[in-house]
A = this chain, B = another copy of it.
Amino acid sequence: MEKISGNINSTCVEFKDFKNYDGQVIPVRGYIHRIREMTGFSFVILRTARDVIQCVYAPEFSDYRWDAKLCEEACVEIHGKVVSSKDAKGNDRYELQIHDIIILSLPAEPLPIVINKKQLDNIQLSTILDLRPVSMRNPRERAIFKLQEGIQRGFRDFLTKQGFTEIHSPKINYAGAEGGTNVFKLDYFGKQVYLAQSPQLYKQAMVGVFQRVFEIAPVFRAEHHDTSRHLNEYISMDFEMGFIDSFEDIMNMETGALKYIMELLKTEYSEEVTLLKADIPVINEIPAIKFMDAKKIIMDKFKYKPSDMKDFDPEEEQLLGKHAKKEFDSDFIFVTHYPSKKRPFYTMDDPADPEYTLSFDLLFRGLEITSGGQRIHDYNEQVAKMEKCGMNPEEFATYLMLHKYGAPPHGGLGLGLERLTMHLLGFKNVREATMFPRDINRVTP
């Protein structure tokens, strides 16, 4: 009979703590990332959970006898002495003088692609995606998803501090929450059900319970077109807040969250930011412009002729991004008061002009990353809007419980995690920022 105490073995030292072990022999575990044989010594580059550590093997400071089985992607424990030297810029640089190498496991075959260069060179995106379990071993590829962790962590931590409750809404839904044709249908013991397109209706219901809620979870869209910015499954970061004074409260909450996220990335994810050369935006104030004023700027200032006066095309978003940068030195711009016809049935119309809505999009460097707005909270108003939209309110009886039995003024937004990562890193394709993307042509690995 044994007892499990919960004491965690941490025999290994992390790279960031090497400075505390200068001159000492310590153990470190990881993958052999690269072996470079030089004249009279070898570099063994060890890939640990988050770092790549230079270890040096030379007969002069080691009794260890080189094992011919050692190869790249072997898992090992290296015992070595921490030694510091200055790099070209005068910073402390630590490496290990190898005293011993214990092999923990060996690969069965060499890797099918080269992952131990700075980046994956001359490898097509489709190959990178096919080989994700190994292509992500490349430190730069890996850093993309470590940074992505930081984004969602910042979103969660900020909202938790602001009194939001984290919820988990069901992904098997009995009705397509937002309607539309791009829902995945599922046979559920003979009933037809749907995969959640959004947690919209559930998060609104929970405003009546917790006042402020958020969720970070997968959503599913059966997109038939294969574009560089759409995914059929992605992580949606949603929040919904009650007892607001106006829809500006929602924009302020998002601005606060984005400031917090960028600060977190600069502090706790600085290695990844450096490795990826990520251009972290400075956020002071974010300008806000009304939809129709934006259209005027696009037409008058940029002499661009919009094809649709009810929405923006990608070119127009780019122009608004330029406008924000030039006029306000801002990487972000809110566009508010979208036309009522283009927003979902739960969007509150502007009492001052019901052709438009109390809604907004947030553009980041000329690309949309968020849709949000104030929702209708009055029961009769919501029923009337549904009927105007050709919907049958009886089919939404559960959703309407919120309104029928009392709802505060409220609103919220959704933010796509992969798309935000993509724009932050300046990628052209959202799949580069998606671990295992799903689209009309891809459902593996």
Is A429 an interface residue, CB under 8 A from the partner?
no
Stretch at the interface among A61-69, A81-89, A105-113: A105-113
A222 and B193 CA atoms in complex are apart in Å by 13
Q: Which residues of B contact A386 (CB under 8 A)?
A: none
Tell me the nearest residue of chain B to A115, going by C-beta. Answer: B405
Q: Which residues of B contact A286 (CB under 8 A)?
A: 3-4, 6
Q: Which residues of B contact A172 (CB under 8 A)?
A: 184, 220, 232-233, 438, 443
- Residues 237-295 of A at the B interface (beta carbon under 8 Å): 242-243, 245, 248-249, 251-253, 255-256, 258-259, 283-289, 293
**Contact string against B for A residues 72-113, beta-carbon threshold 8 Å, 1 for contact and 0 otherwise:** 011101000000000000000000000000001111111110
Is A31 an interface residue, CB under 8 A from the partner?
yes
Contact across chains for B105 and A233 when beta carbons are under 8 A apart: no
Q: Which residues of B contact A309 (CB under 8 A)?
A: none
Q: Which residues of B contact A119 (CB under 8 A)?
A: none
Tell me the nearest residue of chain B to A255, going by C-beta. Answer: B6
A73 and B112 CA atoms in complex are apart in Å by 63
Copy number in this complex?
2
**Contact string against B for A residues 127-169, beta-carbon threshold 8 Å, 1 for contact and 0 otherwise:** 0000111101100001001100100110000001011011111
Q: Which residues of B contact A253 (CB under 8 A)?
A: 8
Is A325 an interface residue, CB under 8 A from the partner?
no
A195 and B218 CA atoms in complex are apart in Å by 12
Q: State the majority secondary structure of interface residues on A.
A: mixed
Is A42 an interface residue, CB under 8 A from the partner?
no
A398 and B283 CA atoms in complex are apart in Å by 41
Q: Which residues of B contact A2 (CB under 8 A)?
A: 248, 287-288
Q: Which residues of B contact A343 (CB under 8 A)?
A: none
A246 and B3 CA atoms in complex are apart in Å by 14
- CB A162 to nearest CB in B, in angstroms, measures 6
Contact across chains for A406 and B75 when beta carbons are under 8 A apart: yes
Is A363 an interface residue, CB under 8 A from the partner?
no
Tell me the nearest residue of chain B to A402, going by C-beta. Answer: B133
Contact across chains for B289 and A1 when beta carbons are under 8 A apart: yes
Partner of A105, one of B137, B259, B406: B406
Central interface residue in A136, A172, A187, A440, by most chain B CB within 10 Å: A172
Known: A172-B443, A205-B133, A435-B169. A7 touches B48 (CB 8 A): no
A146 and B164 CA atoms in complex are apart in Å by 10
